[in-house]
A = this chain, B = another copy of it.
């Protein structure tokens, strides 16, 4: 036995398995084998499989950077948050759905939420507007990353699911728009589309701020 096991080593091995072979490949026995230990020994470091998954989420959250605001460009700072979140997702496509689906209440996650929200408040938004802006930006980012990662957008899906119909071939008559769209969506520069979408929201936000500043009612 080379060196002692640790929660950290267990989590990293778990993430590596999921990255390489998908969530379905992550079993306690398999994970044990990977770190050179029987399955039950893992329970010394992790209370159960749920917690193991939470730990994987934690690892991914750690990869997200929320920049401290230096210059005053809060919009650019938020773009940075979004990019970093998306990069973390793309780096772990198999594991990322976990992040979107489990409560993010670890200290590290809260720290990031706090900092991202802080960017908006420091930009001068009032509480109400900040909440809307935060949830809109966060929802968009999460939804976008999740779509990319599950590869739903008419692109190549990973596993051997054949019985599903491939939009690139079938129903051109019935779905005129989609068949027009399919090839473009597959070939799209997702990063650029992401940036444009983010800009759309930021533009809307700036307009809202102006409306509030000039005091014109709804």
A-side residues, CB < 8 A to B, are: 47, 50-51, 97, 100-107, 110-111, 113-115, 117-118, 121, 127, 131-133, 135-136, 138-144, 146-147, 150-154, 157, 161, 163-167, 171, 174-178, 180-181, 184-185, 188, 193, 196-197, 199-205, 207-208
Interface class of chain A by DSSP:
helix
Q: Cβ of A175: which chain B residues have Cβ within 8 Å of it?
A: 110-111, 113-114
Known pairs A142-B146, A166-B105; A132 contacts B178 (CB<8 A) = no
Given A127-B181, A142-B143, 17 more contacts at CB 8 Å?
A: A97-B101, A100-B146, A103-B152, A105-B154, A105-B164, A117-B177, A117-B181, A118-B177, A132-B197, A136-B201, A138-B147, A139-B141, A139-B144, A142-B146, A200-B201, A201-B201, A203-B203
- Nearest CB of B to A88, in Å: 15
Output the nearest chain B residue to A107 by Cβ-Cβ distance: B171
Whether the Cβ atoms of B103 and A181 lie closer than 8 Å is no
Q: Cβ of A135: which chain B residues have Cβ within 8 Å of it?
A: 144, 147, 153, 193, 197
Known pairs A105-B166, A178-B110; A185 contacts B142 (CB<8 A) = no
CB contact between A140 and one of B111, B139, B193 (< 8 Å): that residue: B139
CB contact between A204 and one of B143, B164, B180, B202 (< 8 Å): that residue: B202
